[in-house]
Amino acid sequence: MSREAVLQVFRGTAEGGGPVEYRVPVAPGMVVLDALHYIQGHLAPDLAVRWNCKAGRCGSCSAEVNGRPKLTCKTRMDALPADRPITVAPMRTFPVIRDLVTDVSWNYEVNRRIPPFTPRPGTDWKMSQADIDRVQEFRRCIECFLCQDVCHVLREHGKTAQFGGPRFFVRIAGLEMHPLDAGSRTGLLKQELGIGLCNITKCCTEVCPEDIQITDNAIIPLKERVVDDYYDPIARFLKKIFGSGG
Partner 1 sequence: MSNALGPGVRGEKYETHEHDVLIIGAGGAGLRAAIEALSRGASVGVVCKSLLGKAHTVMAEGGIAAAMANVDRADDWRAHFRDTMKGGKYLNNWRMAQLHAQEAPERVRELEQWGALFDRTPEGDILQRAFGGHSFKRLCHVGDRTGLEMIRTLQDRGVQMGIDVYMECAVTRLLKDGDRVCGAFGYWREQGRFVVFKAKSVVLATGGIGKAWRITSNSWEYTGDGMALAYDAGAELQDMEFVQFHPTGMVWPPGVQGILVTEAVRGEGGVLTNRLGERFMQRYDPKQMDLSTRDVVARAIYTEVREGRGSEHGGAYLDISHKPADYVKRKLPGMYHQFRELADVDITKGPMEVGPTCHYMMGGVRVDAETASATVPGLFAAGEVAAGLHGANRLGGNSLSDLVVFGRRAGLAAAEHANRAGAGSPGAAQVEEAAREMLVFFERPEGESPYAVHRDLESTMEEFVGIFRNEQDLARGLEKLAELSERSRRIHVEGSRLFNPGWHLARDLKSMLTVSEAVARSALARKESRGAHSRTDYPKVDPEWGGRNIVVRRGTRAMELAERPLLLPPAELQALLAEST
Q: Which residues bind partner 1 (CB under 8 A)?
A: 13, 27-31, 34, 40-42, 45-60, 74, 76, 97-99, 101, 104-105, 108-109, 111-112, 116-117, 119, 125-129, 132, 135-136, 139-140, 142-143, 175, 178
User: CB-wise, 64 or 143, nearer to partner 1?
Assistant: 143
C-beta closer to partner 1: residue 110 or 228:
110
Least gap, CB of 163 to partner 1 (angstroms): 20
Least distance to partner 1, CB of residue 245, Å = 15
- Which of residues 128 and 244 has its CB atom nearest to partner 1 in the complex? 128
211, 214, 218, 219 alpha-carbon torsion, rounded to 10°: -170
Q: What is the DSSP code (8-state) at residue 120? A: P
- CA atoms of 149 and 22, how far apart (whole Å): 25
CA Rg value for the chain: 21
User: H/E element holding 89?
Assistant: strand 86-89
- What's at 89, amino acid-wise? A
Report, in Å, the least distance between residue 226 CB and partner 1.
22
DSSP three-state, residue 113 = coil
Least separation, in Å, of the C-beta of 229 and partner 1?
22
